[in-house]
Amino acid sequence: MEKSLNIDDDLKLIIVEKEKHSDIIYDKFMETFLKNEPIAVSINSKMEDLKDIYLYVVGKALKEPVSVVAYLGNECIGGALNYTVTDIPNSTENPNLSFKNDFTHEIASFKMINLEARPIIVVTREIERNYGFFIPNCKKLLKLEALFVESNFSGKGIGTKIVKMVIEIAKKENCDYVMTVASAGGSGQIFKKLGFKCVREISVSSFLSNGKRMLKDFHDGNQTIKLMFYKINN
C-alpha cells in the first residue's frame, strides 16, 4: 500500500460486478473471516472446513448488484456481501420465548456439511429463526450477510462507510429493512451507531451440544450474537 494514499480521499466503494470482482471478493472474504470472524475463530475452523459455506454465501451475494467492495488504491481492503429477500417468513411466534440451548440433534442432522463447520449453520439459523415476527409488514429486505475489513485497516471508519452505502443500496432497491447478524463487537457497534435495532440477543455460552459449549469465548471480548434491523424510511 502506498503511504501517500489517504482513506478520506482515496477510499473507493464500488457495487460488486460478478464477472469483475468474484475472485477477489472470495479470496479476501475467506482470508479476513478466517482471521477475524468470532464464530469461525471460536471453532478453530480451517479454510477447508468452511469452503463450501463461504462459496455459497459469496455465490448468493453475487447474483444481484447489491454487494459492496472497498478499494484503497488498487488493493481490496473490505466489503459487504448482501442480497435481497422477498419471501419473508410470516410468524406470530416470538422466538425469544422458545429458545432451547441444546442443539445436539441439529448438529447431527447436517450430514452434508463438514462437522467442524456445523456450529456456524446452527447458530445462524437459530438467531434468525422466525425473524419475520419482528418485521410483520416487511415486503422486501436487504440481508447484510457479511461485513469484512482487513485487520490492518480496522478502527478507521471503513466499516461505517461500507454500511452507510449498504443502507443507500437498500433504499434504491425499495427495501423496507436491512437485516444483519452481528457476532463481532466492532460491527455491532457500527450497526448500533447507524441506527440498527437489536431485536434478539443470545449469549455465546448458551449454545450447547451433548451438554458442552459449541462456541468458545469470542476473541474480541464480545459475549453475545445479535439479530439487528435497520428500518428504511423512504
Q: For residue range 10-22, what is the model confidence (pLDDT) as tens digits?
A: 899 999 988 788 8
Check residues 72 and 28 and name the one with the higher pLDDT. Answer: 72
**pLDDT value at residue 79:** 93
pLDDT tens profile 148-185: 998 888 889 999 999 999 999 999 999 999 999 999 99
**pLDDT value at residue 3:** 52
pLDDT tens profile 20-64: 888 888 888 878 877 788 888 888 877 777 778 878 888 889 899
- Give the integer Cα–Cα distance in Å for 121 and 228: 18
Is the four-CA dihedral 154, 156, 158, 161 of positive or negative sign?
positive
Is the four-CA dihedral 40, 81, 188, 9 of positive or negative sign?
positive
- Give the integer Cα–Cα distance in Å for 1 and 11: 12
**pLDDT value at residue 147:** 93
Looking at residue 123, its amino acid is: V
**pLDDT value at residue 151:** 85
**pLDDT value at residue 163:** 98
Residues 113, 52 contacting (CB under 8 angstroms): yes
Dump the DSSP string for 136-193: TT-S-EEEEEEEEE-GGGTTSSHHHHHHHHHHHHHHHTT-SEEEEEE-SHHHHHHHHH
Would you list the domain boundaries of the chain? 7-231
**pLDDT value at residue 212:** 92
- Give the integer Cα–Cα distance in Å for 128 and 95: 9
Query: Which stretches does DSSP call E strand in 16-169?
Result: 68-72, 75-85, 141-149
Q: Does domain 7-231 have CATH number 3.40.630.30?
A: yes
With cut-offs at 50, 70 and 90, classify the pLDDT of residue 234: low
Residues 181, 124 contacting (CB under 8 angstroms): yes
**pLDDT value at residue 1:** 47
With cut-offs at 50, 70 and 90, classify the pLDDT of residue 127: very high
pLDDT tens profile 99-123: 988 999 999 988 777 788 888 889 9
Cell of 200: 434478539
Global pTM reads 0.92
Check residues 30 and 215 and name the one with the higher pLDDT. Answer: 215
**pLDDT value at residue 6:** 77
Cell of 230: 435497520
Torsion from C-alpha of 110, 103, 135, 40, nearest 10 degrees: -70
